[in-house]
Chain A
Amino acid sequence: MKKVIEIPVLARVEGHGSLLVEVNVKDKQVNRVEFRINEGARMFEAMLIGRKAEEVPMIASRICGICGPVHAICAARSLEEAMGVKVPDNINTVREIIAELNVVESHLLHVLVLSLPDFLGYNSILELPSDLKSKVFEALRTRELIGKCLDLLCGERVHPKNIIPGGFSKLPTKSDLMNLTSKLEKEAKKIRELIELIGDKMIIEFNRSSHYVALHDGKSYPITYGDLMLDSLLQIPHYAFKKYFSEIVVPYSTSKKSLIYGMESYMVGALARVNTNLKFLDPEAKELIEKLGVKTPTTNPYLIPLAQLIESLHLIKNITRLVDEARLTPHRIQYKPRHGMGSYIVEAPRGILYHHYVVDSEGKVLYADIITPTAQNMADVEDSIKTIIFHEIQREKNMDRLKRLCENIVRCYDPCISCSVHLIIT
């Protein structure tokens, strides 16, 4: 007897997605799992063709309303790779600060607004009991402060205005920046208290080992630099990305699926980063992981939101450190465009983001290729659902509960569907 679990509109995710799971109740098997992306195709790669290099980060950031700054930084850096432009280290440090701010901003939105209601058994953040709701809104004020830092550093938090190949069109003064970021120290304490309050409620026991891919440089917890690390075993430089990871098209979705060697699913994002760079986490963050009794490295996808909170705590502390040392001049270098191709990878909030460009001698884009974290996580989401439902139907036949579990795990992965929809022109 076949039964279909269908969620036509996934709520509390960014973008339009739906889910279809077909189970065979009699034989206790899962027939198929389809995570469908129903967002309209927006064809950003087509839009970018013929555009001048300095216009590209601005257009690329419009791919996503949550991780715009990271898209812009990745575009600027891969164009610099393509045109052989070397920018001074201090510019890349400011980019790292912006990317880290963006990651924390996105994490707090995802954990508090999108994912937390699942773990506490509510439909929406608006329905939480009032004492908890006030705590959550308190943490959203932390997010507001992070947003203000982004406003100051890159013009606008949603879509940055000053990021271009060669640096920034303008940067604020160091004292203005310090005025704002000096308040962040207090916020780290608030995040810590929040983890202590809700951390243990965000743990659901489950294991499914996957492959974990994140940036790694052996010295720190990188967001915009370093090489790829697969399962803490294999180091892959960013230009070899396409050699190891390939995309396949599926008929039921406007997003493509990425697989290792076209075969195995893998996970990117906060959990993969924490697994890969555990050693370099802030001691306070590590201590919290131990306190919560989580074994690391972990293979439990339900822990992604918790990993995001832990990572937020680490990054906020790291940002204040970086700002102390950062120099905001020179903010830009002039360069001469040249013909070439280049790619770059940064850690977007949801995992590694790959931009690849070919430009002509005037710096105009001839070819663009963008691979987003959500497209990479697609296959892993489906595999996780398959495993969870398989375990559950061995003893459980309550379809409503299965449906809730499916929704919960999809939201844990924090899919950013606007990002995942783009076409590749070959």
Chain B
Amino acid sequence: MKKVKIAQYSLTCCEGCTVTLLNVLASNPTVFNRIEIVSSRILGYPEPVEADMAFIDGSVITNHDLELLKTIREKTKVIVALGSCACFGGINALREVMKFNEAIKIVYGYSPNVPHMEDVEPISSIIKVDYYLPGCPPPRSELEQFITCLLLGKIYRLPERPVCFECRAQGIPCLLDEGIPCLGPITRGGCEAACPRINMPCWGCRGPIDELRPDVYLEAVKDHKLNLVEVFNKVKIFMYKTKARTILGELK
């Protein structure tokens, strides 16, 4: 059987998604035997080459990221944005709270020789992306499902339910009721409510759901007498560059 050629690239990020991907591949021998890793800096093959599928994590911050991304698109059939930074900017986009050129002057006193872009961009604003796997990092079970679909030649679809749905399904008490600002109602599920399960609010790391109802969420926030500014600050952490922040910002 012909092996599927897989490439893995990292732009500017923490590379936690890469580590998660490699963990999944290394602990599933049946999957591992059916793929061939043709490019991966961390495995010793830094050059971009022709591949059936490329997993890209990180966002576009330097000019080098931009050039690399264009080369990757030319050489790859299917592009997968791995993790929130690649999908919609994620936590990297939080940098935009400050003007880059001003900050760099305060910090370094001069510009470093690594040319930076003005803004932080997710990869979809530069090239066409075929699949999105959001999350910080994406849930392992989702990665496993995705790769299985890939090997079977099927299309993978992201779940379109909010995190709230998964909390209810598991009988986890609602954190909004306890007066804790939680982003579960507007965040895409599929993580089995990993944070509320251990008593932490949802931070929105998987980005907004497709059918976002900000007005309903804001009403719930008001009903529970939560601090609106605090909620909005929380939205900024992972969803700075998404419609969730812009719409909520306008409504606020």
In the complex, the answer to whether A158 meets B95 with C-beta atoms within 8 Å is no
Check if A12 sits within 8 Å of B44, measured CB to CB. Answer: yes
A197: CB under 8 A from chain B? no
Please tell me if the beta carbons of B200 and A418 are within 8 angstroms of each other in the complex. Answer: no
B92 contacts the other chain (Cβ, under 8 Å)? yes
Task: Please give, as numbers and ranges, the residues of chain B lying within 8 Å of A162 by CB-CB distance.
Answer: 198-200
Give every chain A residue within 8 A of B94 (Cβ-Cβ): 47, 59
Q: Which chain B residue has the least Cβ–Cβ distance from A65? A: B16
User: Which one of B101-109, B152-160, B216-224, B244-252 is at the A interface?
Assistant: B101-109
Partner of B91, one of A47, A64, A137: A47
Q: How far is the CA of A37 from the CA of B12 in the complex (A)?
A: 12
> How many A-B residue contacts, CB cutoff 8 Å?
159
B173 to chain A, nearest CB (A): 13
Which of chain B's residues have a CB closer than 8 A to the CB of A10? 46
For residue A254, CB closer than 8 A to chain B, the reply is: yes
In the complex, which residues 109-165 of chain A have their Cβ closer than 8 Å to any Cβ of chain B?
Answer: 109, 113-114, 117, 123-126, 137, 140-141, 144, 147, 155-156, 158-159, 161-162
Q: Given the complex, which residues of B lie within 8 Å of A409, measured CB to CB?
A: none
B187 within 8 A of A: no
Q: A392 an interface residue at 8 Å Cβ cutoff?
A: no
Do A426 and B97 contact each other (CB < 8 Å), given the known contacts A66-B19, A159-B16, A159-B137?
no
Q: Which residues of A contact B91 (CB under 8 A)?
A: 47, 59, 62
Contact segment of B59-67, B73-81, B126-134: B59-67
CB of B54, distance to nearest CB on chain A (Å): 17
Within the assembled complex, what's the spacing in Å between the Cα atoms of A43 and B61? 12
Q: How far is the CB of A241 from chain B (nearest CB, A)?
A: 20
Chain B residues, CB < 8 A from A38: 62, 64, 114
- Inter-subunit contact B44/A159 (CB<8 Å): no
In the bound complex, CA of A40 to CA of B59 (Å): 10
Q: Which of A37-87 contact B (CB under 8 A)?
A: 37-43, 46-47, 50-52, 55, 58-59, 62-66, 68
Q: Give which listed residue, B18, B104, B109, contacts A65 with CB less than 8 A.
A: B18
Per-residue interface assignment for chain B, residues 48 to 64, with 1 indicating a CB less than 8 Å from any chain A CB and 0 otherwise: 00000000000001101
User: Who on chain A is nearest to B11 by CB?
Assistant: A40
Select one of A37, A50, A158, A252 contacting B19, CB under 8 A: A158
B107 touching A42, Cβ below 8 Å? no
B98–A125 contact, CB under 8 A?
no
8 Å CB interface, A390-404 against B: none
Query: Smallest CB–CB gap between A160 and chain B, Å?
Result: 10
**Among candidates A65, A141, A155, A423, residue contacting B27 with C-beta atoms closer than 8 Å:** A141
Contact, CB under 8 Å: B112 / A254: yes
- Contact between chains at A40 and B114 (CB < 8 Å): yes
Category for how many chain B residues contact A: 35 or more
Cβ contact within 8 Å between A46 and B42 = no
Contact yes or no, A11 B44, CB < 8 A: yes
Interface presence of B14 (CB below 8 A): yes
Nearest-neighbor residue (CB-CB) of B195 within chain A: A161
User: Complex: how many Å from CA A51 to CA B203?
Assistant: 13
Chain A residue numbers with a CB within 8 Å of B16 are 62, 64-66, 68, 158-159
The proximity string for A residues 326-362 relative to B, scoring 1 for CB distances below 8 Å and 0 otherwise, is 0000000000000000000000000000000000000
A112 to chain B, nearest CB (A): 10
Q: Pick from A40, A144, A249, A425 the residue with the most CB of B within 10 Å.
A: A40
User: On chain A, which size bracket covers the interface?
Assistant: 35 or more
Contact A46/B200 with A11-B44, A40-B61, A68-B14 known, Cβ cut-off 8 Å: no
CA distance A162 to B195 in the complex (A): 8
> From residue B245, how far is it (CB to closest CB) to chain A in Å?
15
A251 located at the interface, meaning its Cβ lies under 8 Å from any Cβ of chain B in the complex:
yes
Cβ of B124 < 8 Å from any Cβ of A?
Answer: no
**Min distance, Cβ A363 to any Cβ of chain B, angstroms:** 13
- Shortest CB distance A425–B (Å): 6
A42 & B95 in contact (Cβ 8 Å cutoff): yes
Contact A11 B41 (CB under 8 A): yes
For A4-35 the 0/1 string (1 means CB < 8 A from B) is: 00000111111110000000000000000000
**Which residues of A are found within 8 Å of B23, using beta-carbon distances?**
144, 147
Q: How far is the CA of A63 from the CA of B94 in the complex (A)?
A: 13
Is residue A286 within 8 Å, beta carbon to beta carbon, of the partner chain?
no
B44 touches A117 (CB 8 A): yes
Given the complex of chains A and B, what is the CA–CA distance between A114 and B46 in angstroms? 13
- A211 touches B (CB below 8 Å): no
The answer on a CB contact under 8 Å between B14 and A62 is: yes
- Taken together as a complex, chains A and B put the C-alpha atoms of A251 and B104 apart, in Å, by 13
- Residue B17 lies at the interface, judged by CB distance under 8 Å to chain A: yes
**Residue B231 CB within 8 A of the other chain:** no
Set of chain A residues within 8 Å of B10, measured between Cβ atoms: 15-16
B13: chain A residues within 8 A (beta carbon): 65, 418
**B112 near A41 (CB under 8 angstroms)?**
yes
> What's the least CB distance linking A61 to chain B, in Å?
9
* Nearest residue, chain A, Cβ from B17: A65
The docked-state distance in angstroms from the alpha carbon of A66 to that of B16 is 6
**Would you call B199 and A169 a contact (CB within 8 A)?**
yes
A40-B114, A42-B92, A158-B19 are known; give 4 further A-B pairs, CB within 8 A: A41-B104, A66-B16, A68-B14, A144-B27
A–B complex contacts, Cβ < 8 Å, 30 sampled: A9-B41, A9-B46, A11-B42, A11-B45, A12-B43, A13-B41, A14-B15, A40-B65, A41-B104, A41-B114, A42-B61, A43-B98, A43-B103, A46-B103, A59-B94, A62-B16, A64-B15, A68-B14, A114-B42, A124-B43, A125-B43, A125-B44, A126-B43, A137-B26, A155-B198, A170-B199, A170-B200, A249-B108, A249-B109, A426-B106
